[in-house]
Amino acid sequence: MSAYLELTEKVLEEHRQVLLDVSEEETEKLLDAIAQANCIQVFGMGRMKCAVRAFVMRLMHMGMDAHVVYDTTCPNLGPGDLLIVNCACTTIGYTVMQFAKRLGAKVVAITANPRSKAAELSDFTVNLKGQVHGGREYEIPSIQPMAALFEQAIFIYEDIIIQLLMKKLNITAGQMAKRHTNLDGYMDFNVENEE
């Protein structure tokens, strides 16, 4: 077996372990919190922010008032609103959570460590056990460096959340596509050449 195939099988197995371990009860709480929120804001740093942007984009496609924390168009937050923090493992993330709590918003951490200071500040957590630090008993270990497993798994998990929300709220992919930007020319550029 080639090195590529060997690594691919190991990484896929890591994802299988992490994603199948997530609590269905915690996932349902997250779905309800998103569905009930007036405004949803999502926070993450570094590679976590890649997942944040993808998730917020899909929430917007569903017609929700969703924003990336600290983007220039991000509005204020208050009662009836929701802050979701991807990973919740930094001092900056903890500070953002403190502000949101003080302002009356609901706070959710998607985290590998449900016993952290940030988790204690949350209204509830979703425990996604992908390796963040390495060598921690509460994490599923990874052959990948640093927090790669968690970063990849949260991207997939939040895409799964979108599909569950589509079903819960009876929203179709066609409805979502109508909210996709039309300034990229995708539909024009990908029309079959009729020559």
Burial of 104-120, coded b for 16+ CB within 10 Å and e otherwise, reads: ebbbbbbbbbbebebbe
In a domain, 26, yes or no: yes
pLDDT at res. 191? 60
Residue 135 CB contacts under 8 Å (≥ 6 apart), including other chains: 141
pLDDT at res. 49? 94
In a domain, 195, yes or no: no
pLDDT at res. 185? 81
In a domain, 55, yes or no: yes
Using an 8 Å Cβ cutoff, are 107 and 94 in contact?
no
What is the model's pTM?
0.94
pLDDT at res. 190? 63
Using an 8 Å Cβ cutoff, are 70 and 41 in contact?
no
Q: What is the CATH number of the domain that holds 151?
A: 3.40.50.10490
In a domain, 147, yes or no: yes
In a domain, 194, yes or no: no
pLDDT at res. 126? 98
Residues spanned by the domain of 111: 8-189
In a domain, 114, yes or no: yes
Outline where DSSP puts E strands in 38-102: 40-43, 66-68, 82-86
In a domain, 30, yes or no: yes
Q: What is the pLDDT along the chain (195 residues), one digit of tens a residue?
A: 899 999 999 999 999 999 999 999 999 999 999 999 999 999 999 999 999 999 999 999 999 999 999 999 999 999 999 999 999 889 999 999 999 999 999 999 999 998 999 999 999 999 999 999 998 999 999 999 999 999 999 999 999 999 999 999 999 999 999 999 988 887 676 666 555
pLDDT at res. 172? 97
In a domain, 79, yes or no: yes
pLDDT at res. 88? 85
State how many domains the chain has.
Answer: 1
DSSP annotation of 184 reads: S
